[in-house]
Amino acid sequence: MTAYIKTIWKNLSTPAINETNLNKLEEGIYDATEGVTGLEGKVTDLESPLSVDYTPQGTAPSHKEGRVFYDNNSHALSYYNDVDDMTLNIGQEVIVRVHNATGAT
């Protein structure tokens, strides 16, 4: 990618319309559009991913409800729910929410 050299506008006045300034403007526009074109495939991947690669975590990340990560210790995709000290290893563990409406222990 070509290095962008900014055309300086002083006191809100238009810089001289000469070869140097026009080339700087053209190169800046080219660099900006090239960057967007390069990201096009990545945006498409986010819209309809075929797979997601997680970075293995030796140490679990801080708790946040809804956070999904790959737990390298249990070798499983894991997530956090609303219980602070619980990690669910998907495919290895199951939790069942129950409600005791009787009031008895």
pLDDT digit string (tens) for 63-93? 999 999 999 999 999 999 999 999 999 999 9
- Please check whether residues 13 and 47 belong to one and the same domain: yes
- Please check whether residues 45 and 84 belong to one and the same domain: no
CA distance linking residue 14 with residue 28, whole number of Å? 16
- Please check whether residues 38 and 2 belong to one and the same domain: yes
Please determine, for residue 39, whether its predicted confidence score (pLDDT) is greater than 60.
yes
What SS3 state is found at 32?
Answer: helix
Tally of CB atoms within 10 A around 71: 22
- Please check whether residues 2 and 31 belong to one and the same domain: yes
- H helices of 1-105, where? 19-47
- Please check whether residues 2 and 41 belong to one and the same domain: yes
- Please check whether residues 13 and 46 belong to one and the same domain: yes
- Please check whether residues 43 and 62 belong to one and the same domain: no
Sign of CA dihedral 37, 39, 45, 47: negative
Which of the four pLDDT bands, split at 50, 70 and 90, describes residue 57?
confident
Which of the four pLDDT bands, split at 50, 70 and 90, describes residue 27?
confident
- Please check whether residues 8 and 36 belong to one and the same domain: yes
pTM of the complete model beyond 0.85: no
Q: Which of 55, 83, 79 is nearest to 67 (CA)?
A: 79
Domain range for residue 45?
1-51
- Please check whether residues 47 and 62 belong to one and the same domain: no
Name residues whose C-beta falls within 8 Å of residue 76's C-beta, 6 or more positions apart in sequence.
70, 89, 90, 91, 92
- Please check whether residues 46 and 57 belong to one and the same domain: no
